[in-house]
């Protein structure tokens, strides 16, 4: 028999869902994403209120879920650097006593505490199941921008919150964000360099490789199913190509170095730096680790490939002009051109998802920092300044952020920042040092 509390919870859920669908459909028809412009370097953070979510009953587990879900949602959206999350202590009333849907919300009260956006929610827990109803409001216009209902296992709470956050970012920017993405990196916590993976925000770090020697330079395939990385097998350099879940893979060994793998977008092929024919040059390989052809050929070394989003061009580092500089090769014509002219030592290019920018590591006057430049050679912008060695940057899937490694706190750690160099903060702290981050284009669970 269903208890009165469960009946009340079910009725509450049915009532609150009634007003969700039409406003969302109307928003999609509007087609405007004028709240956040991720291309604006002077973007103002939007004040957002995220009160604790309203519970269907008074169950202790339900109350705990309300607070946990609201905190997780606020932290997830705060990570983007788009929002200023307001202190709940400044709210004018108890969220448990206020309506969470139209028409009962008093937008004037929220405007009075400075909130321009408001997220409300309701939580109902039944056994091992949870239902979350979440809404996004524009308090200045007094309207709902988004409303979603998510039933699922209680253990799926984090996944549900991230899915809603993706919807929020899509409504406000027209892009899905990066909440389903992951970051691969190198860590020395075991005493050796091994490959690790974490969620986009540094949570849930887990060890992938267990070579017991040296593994480095992780690179994601565009479908996120495969990782390629350099490793030493019994003391000899090798390139490993590994399926992340079922253990399939390939091993490329032989004479010389094997580093810097970079997958061609949309293909199970990759470029890598090999030296089995002499100087380090860039080669094209199959996903099975077989060499297809040589991509560069110059008297100086050519290393560190990075592909444009459509795979038609490849950025790389060459010493053909004396010092290491970034070059771009057009794959159809074979034409190569120099991109960087400032900086005595430029390396580690990373092509942006939009295809218009390349981030890279530069050394000037013994300082190692990260810059970005347009693929046309214009708009050079230094992103880090005088805070340890900063290197190995990688773009988020939506192009709004960069992950990189830095020694600003002593040992190398992983940091993130916006694409304009603002909001720099450490991503995670593990035993040993962490370096060489690579941001995936999504999740293998999509």
SS3 per residue for 85-135: ECCHHHCCCCHHHCCCCCCCCCHHHHHHCCCCEEEEEEEEEECCEEEEEEE
pLDDT band (50, 70, 90) for residue 175: confident
Average pLDDT over residues 230-238: 86
Q: Provide the mean pLDDT of the chain.
A: 88
Question: In the prediction, which pLDDT does 13 show?
Answer: 40
- pLDDT tens digits, 35-89: 887 777 778 899 999 999 988 777 788 889 999 999 999 999 999 999 999 999 8
pLDDT band (50, 70, 90) for residue 33: low
Question: In the prediction, which pLDDT does 312 show?
Answer: 97
For residue 87 the two structure tokens come to 């202190």
Is a pLDDT exceeding 90 seen at residue 241? Answer: yes
Q: Which residues are CB-contacts of 353 (< 8 A; sequence separation ≥ 6)? A: 309, 395, 396, 397, 398, 399, 441
Q: Which of these ranges, 10-14, 116-120, 140-144, 161-165, has the smallest mean pLDDT?
A: 10-14
Using the Cα atoms of residue 296, residue 302, residue 303 and residue 307 in order, give the sign of their dihedral: negative
Average pLDDT over residues 258-285: 92
Question: In the prediction, which pLDDT does 24 show?
Answer: 37
Q: Which burial class, exposed, middle or buried, applies to 278 when counting CB atoms under 10 A from its CB (0-12, 13-18, 19+)?
A: exposed
Decide the pairing of beta strands 143-153 and 325-330. Answer: unpaired
Average pLDDT over residues 295-313: 94
For residue 8 the two structure tokens come to 């009340």
Q: Which residues are CB-contacts of 128 (< 8 A; sequence separation ≥ 6)? A: 153, 154, 155
- Torsions phi, psi of 150, nearest 5? -130, 105
Question: In the prediction, which pLDDT does 410 show?
Answer: 94
Q: What span, in angstroms and rounded, lies between the C-alpha atoms of 417 and 419?
A: 7
Is a pLDDT exceeding 70 seen at residue 18? Answer: no
* H or E element, residue 392: strand 390-395
pLDDT band (50, 70, 90) for residue 445: very low
Q: How far is CA 4 from CA 7, 11, 124, 127, 353, in A?
A: 5, 10, 13, 15, 52
Question: In the prediction, which pLDDT does 102 show?
Answer: 76
CATH number of 182-439, picked from 3.30.930.10, 2.120.10.30, 3.40.718.10, 3.40.190.10: 2.120.10.30
Q: What percent of the chain shows pLDDT beyond 90?
A: 69
Q: How far is CA 410 from CA 185, 266, 386, in A?
A: 18, 38, 13
pLDDT band (50, 70, 90) for residue 133: very high
pLDDT band (50, 70, 90) for residue 418: very high
| Contact between 178 and 162 (Cβ < 8 Å) | no
| Count, residues in the chain | 446
Question: In the prediction, which pLDDT does 406 show?
Answer: 97
Q: Which residues are CB-contacts of 176 (< 8 A; sequence separation ≥ 6)? A: 166, 169, 170, 397, 398
Question: In the prediction, which pLDDT does 100 show?
Answer: 76
| Contact between 390 and 404 (Cβ < 8 Å) | yes
**Homologous superfamily of 4-173 in CATH?**
TolB, N-terminal domain (3.40.50.10070)
Average pLDDT over residues 249-268: 88
223 DSSP assignment: T
Average pLDDT over residues 138-146: 94
Q: Is 163 left (phi over 0), alpha (psi -120 to 50) or beta?
A: alpha
Question: In the prediction, which pLDDT does 210 show?
Answer: 87
Enumerate the β-bridge partners of residue 263.
270
Q: Which residues are CB-contacts of 141 (< 8 A; sequence separation ≥ 6)? A: none
Is a pLDDT exceeding 80 seen at residue 216? Answer: yes
Is a pLDDT exceeding 60 seen at residue 28? Answer: no
Q: What span, in angstroms and rounded, lies between the C-alpha atoms of 166 and 155?
A: 19
Q: What span, in angstroms and rounded, lies between the C-alpha atoms of 390 and 407?
A: 7
Q: Which of these ranges, 94-98, 151-155, 298-302, 378-382, has the smallest mean pLDDT?
A: 94-98
CB-side neighbour CA atoms (13 Å) of 185: 35
Q: Could you tell me the residue ranges of all domains in the chain?
A: 4-173, 182-439
Q: What span, in angstroms and rounded, lies between the C-alpha atoms of 325 and 344?
A: 8
pLDDT band (50, 70, 90) for residue 15: very low
Average pLDDT over residues 404-408: 97
């Amino acid at each position: 028999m269903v208890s009165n509390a469960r009946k009340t919870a079910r009725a509450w859920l049915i009532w609150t869902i009634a007003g969700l669908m039409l406003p969302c459909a109307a928003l999609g028809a509007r087609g405007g994403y004028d709240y956040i412009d991720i291309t604006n370097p002077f973007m103002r953070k939007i004040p957002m209120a995220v009160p604790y979510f309203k519970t269907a009953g008074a169950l202790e587990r339900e109350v705990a879920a309300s607070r946990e879900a609201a905190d997780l949602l606020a932290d997830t959206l705060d990570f983007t650097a788009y929002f200023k999350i307001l202190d709940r202590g400044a709210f004018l009333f108890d969220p448990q006593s206020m309506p969470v849907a139209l028409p009962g919300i008093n937008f004037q009260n929220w405007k009075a505490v400075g909130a321009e956006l408001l997220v409300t929610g309701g939580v109902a827990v039944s056994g091992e199941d949870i239902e979350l109803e979440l809404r996004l409001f524009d308090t200045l216009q007094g309207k709902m921008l988004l409303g979603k209902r998510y039933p699922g296992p209680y253990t799926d709470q984090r996944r549900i919150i991230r899915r809603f956050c993706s919807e929020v970012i899509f409504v406000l920017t027209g892009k899905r964000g990066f909440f389903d993405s992951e970051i691969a990196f190198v860590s020395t916590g075991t005493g050796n360099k091994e490959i690790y993976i974490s969620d986009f925000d540094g949570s849930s770090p887990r060890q992938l490789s267990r070579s017991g020697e040296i593994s480095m330079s992780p690179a994601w395939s565009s479908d996120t199913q495969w990782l390629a990385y350099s490793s030493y097998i019994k003391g000899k350099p090798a390139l490993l190509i590994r399926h992340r879940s079922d253990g399939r893979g390939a091993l490329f060994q032989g004479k010389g170095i094997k580093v810097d793998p970079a997958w061609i977008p949309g293909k199970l092929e990759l470029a890598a730096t090999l030296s089995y024919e002499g100087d380090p040059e860039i080669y094209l390989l199959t996903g099975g680790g077989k060499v297809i052809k040589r991509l560069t050929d110059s008297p100086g070394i050519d290393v560190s490939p990075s592909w444009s989003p459509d795979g038609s061009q490849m950025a790389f580092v060459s010493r053909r002009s004396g010092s290491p500089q970034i070059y771009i090769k057009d794959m159809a014509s074979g034409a190569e051109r120099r991109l960087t002219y400032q900086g005595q030592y430029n390396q580690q290019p990373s092509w942006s998802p939009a295809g218009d920018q390349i981030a890279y590591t530069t050394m000037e006057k013994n300082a190692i920092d990260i810059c970005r430049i347009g693929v046309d050679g214009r708009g050079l912008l230094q992103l880090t300044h005088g805070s340890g060695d900063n290197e190995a940057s990688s773009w988020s899937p939506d192009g709004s952020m960069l992950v990189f490694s830095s020694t600003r706190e002593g040992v190398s750690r992983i940091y993130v920042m916006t694409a304009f160099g603002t909001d720099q903060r450490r991503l995670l702290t593990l035993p040993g040092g962490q370096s060489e981050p690579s941001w995936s284009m999504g999740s293998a669970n999509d």
